[in-house]
Amino acid sequence: MKFIFSVLLALPVSAFAHEHDHDHGNNILNQSPVTLASVAALELFESGNIGNLVGFQTFKADDEAAVKLTYMDNSGTARAVGYDCHFHAHGDAQEAHCHDSADLGVIDTPANDVSFGVDEFADSLAYSADIFARKIAPLSQITNVKMWQTGGNIWATLAHDTGAGEVKSHFMCHMHGDHFDCHRSRNPGPNEPRYQE
Note whether residue 113 is domain-resident.
Answer: yes
pTM: 0.82
Contacts of 99 (CB under 8 A, 6+ apart): 44, 83, 84, 85
- Whether 61 is covered by a domain: the verdict is yes
Domain assignment present for 4: no
Question: pLDDT (tens digit, 9 = 90+) per residue, 132-182?
Answer: 999 999 999 999 999 999 989 999 999 999 989 999 999 999 988 887 789
Mean pLDDT over 7-31 rounds to 49
Please give the pLDDT value at position 90: 78
pLDDT of residue 58 exceeding 70: yes
Under a CB-based contact definition with an 8 Å cutoff, are residues 54 and 112 in contact? yes
Question: Would residue 92 count as lying in a domain?
Answer: yes
CB-neighbour burial class of residue 48 (10 A; exposed 0-12, middle 13-18, buried 19+):
exposed
pLDDT digits (tens, 9 = 90+) for 178-196: 877 899 999 988 888 887 6
Type of residue numbered 153: N
Tally of structural domains, the chain: 1
Q: What range does the domain containing 130 cover? A: 29-185
Is 103 among the domain residues? yes
Residue 11 covered by a domain: no
Across the chain, how many H-helices and E-strands are there? 3, 8
Using one digit for the tens of pLDDT, what is the confidence trace for 75-122? 888 899 999 999 988 777 788 999 988 788 787 766 667 889 999 999
Is 6's pLDDT higher than 50? no
Within 10 angstroms of residue 131's Cβ, the number of other Cβ atoms is 18
Quick check: is 173 in a domain? yes
